[in-house]
Amino acid sequence: MKSRYLIDRSSKVLVLVCASASFVILLAIAIFTLKEALPAFRQVGLLHFLFGTEWSPRNNEFGILPMIVGSIVVTAGALIIAVPLGIACAILLAEVAPVRVRQFLRPAVELLVGIPSVVYGLVGMVLVVPLIRHIGGSGYSVAAGVIVLTGMVLPTIISISEDSIRAVPKSYKEGALALGATHWQTIWRVLVPAARSGIIASIVLAVGRAIGEAMAMIMVLGNAPVIPTSILGPARTLAGSIAAEVNYAGGVHQSALFATAVVLFLMIMIINSVALIVLRRGGRVQSIC
């Protein structure tokens, strides 16, 4: 009994230490990034930095509004395409597809998760950009970024959403079918709402990967620090701006890149907080009903 108690106590302490270490690491990263960003905020000014439309290190002009808009536009466009496709594919794998189809599709989806972003960027440069060039422009555009980013976030949405749908108790499905619901009604009205928390979590993770993606976006977006006015025009993301210039930046320029990282960090925190609030409100509404 003493050994079992000791193991149980040690396990709790180990879990607490690991959780605390994760928080401390995150806090240390945030403090270091903010410390390095303070010179840029002081010299450039917070409002000018956030809402300025010109990014020119040679002229000491550091306005990241074009990158903020580019990140939001590309991420939103990818999610508009990826979310319905990902949820539909998750439903297919969890409830509709035959066993042989599942055995083929599931490893393929898991393989897509592990493909490096630079490979997606190369595929985008070789296949997507020339196709868009036939429509108009140089091909390096918001449209190319949206298509490539859609392929990158789809596996995350599919895999987590499928696991969430499979985790719904079988009694939910059996009860709906017993009441006379069709298979599709059971999926859409019972299984998907019951798996809502996992599906939203998959979307949040997809947003985090999309808005923080750098290498693939540098390769297909055109990397121009301008506010995109068309899906066929070039753009630049926050993460892409950091990755493209960090190797040769110095002084205020380097501090401005750290300030860009702070903004990116805050955007991801806001997205996660909003998703958490939505999940909590959804849970309350469901419990009331």
Q: pLDDT tens digits, the chain, 289 residues: what are they?
A: 667 777 788 888 888 898 899 889 989 998 999 999 999 999 888 889 999 888 888 888 899 999 999 999 999 999 999 999 999 999 999 888 888 888 888 888 888 888 888 899 999 999 999 999 888 888 899 999 999 999 999 999 999 899 899 989 888 888 988 888 888 889 888 999 888 888 988 888 888 888 888 888 999 998 888 888 888 889 999 998 898 888 888 889 999 999 999 999 888 888 878 777 766 765 543 443 4
Tokens (6 digits) for 65? 């509004």
Q: State how far the Cα of 239 lies from the Cα of 215, in Å rounded to an integer.
A: 8
Dihedral (Cα; 254, 258, 259, 261), 10-degree rounding: 140
C-alpha 209/C-alpha 8 separation (Å) is: 36
Spatial separation of the C-alpha atoms in residues 207 and 256, rounded to whole Å:
24
- All domains in the chain, ordered by first residue: 2-47 (no CATH), 65-288 (1.10.3720.10)
Is-contact 70 235, C-beta < 8 A?
yes
